[in-house]
Structure 1
């Protein structure tokens, strides 16, 4: 019984000791700050990007503008196929243009028939009106020659009746001549309208013939054909309608081969023209190619319209090329070197802070931490290069110290250290 009591007392004492030690550790951890000694080390920063091989210059293959209307693809060559000058690349469906040609010919024949008919009617109408005008003129002359005007011989009624007859003959003559002029103008206007319809038919025939003469697109020179892709990455397909002037493909100049890659907006901060690049083709991942950044877009944009992730387009000039394995449109990966320093002072990102509007780190001096202004260099995900403000051997806090732990650190060697609380 006594032994059992002693065992229970020892167990209780052990628990109390453990709780006290745990509390002490917790109290000490709240008043400690980690430090590290700053040394010169190599710093290399690379940004990974993906994209495709493109050419700086290419001959565009477009739908002819002479057709002046949409055309439907009936046949196309394979994408990426080598072609010779004069080789057929695309053929278009002639059905609509054959129908339009026949319709135009029918309209032209109809217009010609109507013009001939209107011309004959005009001639007949004007001939009749001319006879009416001539007859009215003769009646006026007869009426004027035999008009009764002598009051000694004729009564007033006869004189008045004769004057009315003369005036009526004159009005008939004027009416006949006016009708001749008006009917002539109307007939001429009608014929001109029919001629316009004939010109429209001629234009339809001309457009159909031009389109039928442009049903094939041939290669302007030797090369490799690369189809144009829309925003969904798709090329034109057989049966698809194309518009005059639309670019269907291109014949790239392989001597101007370059890589076009896309860098995440967050990773593009240190990229500039002249940065060295290592490019690998997905089909040949073990063979790298050297290059340099030739340009970077000034504005980030989305690669896919409905995905809210933005990229910078970077063009890489290849310093070497192997056309036997490098083809336009091939997918590539690129490693862009944004920083390559043999010696650099670096600290963790969390060691950087701000004090009175200045970028600082907290340097350990005389048993306490002092906010030291620094100038930053290249930055990686975890570390920051200190361009100025620190010297090799300085010890800095891994986070901003608080008043309670401003002096709680131990200097016990290189690398990150944790001091003991008082």
Structure 2
């Protein structure tokens, strides 16, 4: 008979999310004039998704261009004044050497020439400042085009045509773009009592309400150190990476997740119910070289912890129940791993006793034994 698998798992609830979601916002305020992207729209980096009314920003650009043109004209005028001041200075210096012009006139000419040179430097600096303002105005004009920054799919749109957005205090978010929906992640919250055994690389399985009978598999990518405390309950975020090439998973789905902490495969297993089954009183038979006898006594329930610590199950041998000591390894709440003991595949282990016609099956044939059995090795 096929051996079973026993796994110790952590159960947690989480949410399916894209691995990377980029928020697309606007740096400028204004009225939304056009929308080119909607929900589920595939986009590429640089693609135009929306447009804000550019007219106010175009007016600022035009004004700044005119201002730069005025400043350049002023520079040309002041350069002409500089050339004239230089000509006057050179002429008066020659006349002063011939004694025709007084030194005071030459000194005044030198002062005017220096002022003309300073005016040129001032004009050039002013032009640079106005050009910088023009560049800023052109950048703001460019921001009226809302561009997709990455390749992906639009998963959310929070704006309508005609709506006014204000970017005075914070950037308004217009779209959410998921970069790659073929790779998803489940963000789960694991309690502090279970987080100790969770590590990166652990296998995880989960189901979602849309596909309750379809298990999905993933691997733990992160077990974050930062605690999350809600109403004095401490949990830790565990991120499970999932392949979504089939496109069945969608952002926001609720996932019931099992993170496999430890697993044993191809091992002998018995149900935990068999560990809880106990017999007491006189007449319990024990095997001796193949012989067996037993007296019928009523069973009583015992805790799984007591049974596991004592390591005993009851096996039906030669028609009689026999107590068999065993060593129990992993348990998953349903089955337990048998590490050692006189059990073999196919041995009928008693899990309970038939106590009524309903248990035995009133409409069927009489059972051959008053016990419900489990064959060792099956699940």
1:133 aligned to which of 87, 90, 93: 93
Residue 257 of structure 1, CA deviation: 2.6
Residue 194 of structure 1 is matched in structure 2 by 123
Residue 219 of structure 2 is matched in structure 1 by 293
Residue 71 of structure 1 is matched in structure 2 by 28
Residue 40 of structure 2 is matched in structure 1 by 81
Matched residues in 1 for 2:191 and 2:220: separation? 18
When you count strand as a share of all residues, which structure comes out higher?
2
When you count helix as a share of all residues, which structure comes out higher?
1
Listed as ranges, the matches of 1:15-414 within 5 Å are: 44-55=8-19, 70-72=27-29, 74=32, 80-83=39-42, 85=44, 88-139=48-99, 172-173=102-103, 175-213=104-142, 215-218=144-147, 223-227=152-156, 239-241=165-167, 249-282=176-209, 284=210, 286-302=212-228, 309-318=233-242, 322-323=246-247, 325-339=248-262, 342=269
Q: 1:266 to 1:100 in 2, by over 3 A?
A: farther
Matched residues in 2 for 1:79 and 1:386: separation? 54
Matched residues in 2 for 1:208 and 1:331: separation? 46
Residue 317 of structure 2 is matched in structure 1 by none
Matched residues in 2 for 1:349 and 1:194: separation? 92
Matched residues in 2 for 1:285 and 1:258: separation? 17
Matched residues in 1 for 2:174 and 2:165: separation? 16
Residue 317 of structure 1, CA deviation: 3.0
Residue 288 of structure 2 is matched in structure 1 by none
Matched residues in 2 for 1:313 and 1:226: separation? 23
Superposition TM-score, scaled by structure 1 size: 0.50
Residue 271 of structure 1, CA deviation: 1.6
Matched residues in 2 for 1:115 and 1:337: separation? 77
Task: Give 3-state SS (helix, strand or coil) of 1:278's partner.
Answer: strand
Residue 239 of structure 1, CA deviation: 0.7
Listed one character per residue, the Cα deviations across residues 23-44 of structure 1 (whole Å, up to 9, x for unaligned) are xxxxxxxxxxxxxxxxxxx785
Structure 1 residues without counterparts, runs of 5 or longer:
1-41, 65-69, 141-168, 229-233, 352-360, 363-375, 393-422
Matched residues in 1 for 2:207 and 2:159: separation? 25
User: Contact 1:101 / 1:208 at 8 angstroms: preserved in 2?
Assistant: yes
- The number of residues matched between the two structures is 280
Task: Give 3-state SS (helix, strand or coil) of 2:197's partner.
Answer: coil
User: Contact 1:290 / 1:320 at 8 angstroms: preserved in 2?
Assistant: no
Q: 1:90 to 1:251 in 2, by over 3 A?
A: farther
Higher RCO, 1 or 2 (CA under 8 Å, sep at least 6)? Answer: 1
Listed one character per residue, the Cα deviations across residues 266-303 of structure 1 (whole Å, up to 9, x for unaligned) are 33222223434332234x15243321333233413338
Superposition TM-score, scaled by structure 2 size: 0.55
Q: 1:289 to 1:138 in 2, by over 3 A?
A: same
Structure 2 residues without counterparts, runs of 5 or longer:
1-5, 277-301, 311-327, 343-379
Residue 378 of structure 1, CA deviation: 7.9
Task: Give 3-state SS (helix, strand or coil) of 1:326's partner.
Answer: coil
Matched residues in 1 for 2:255 and 2:42: separation? 24
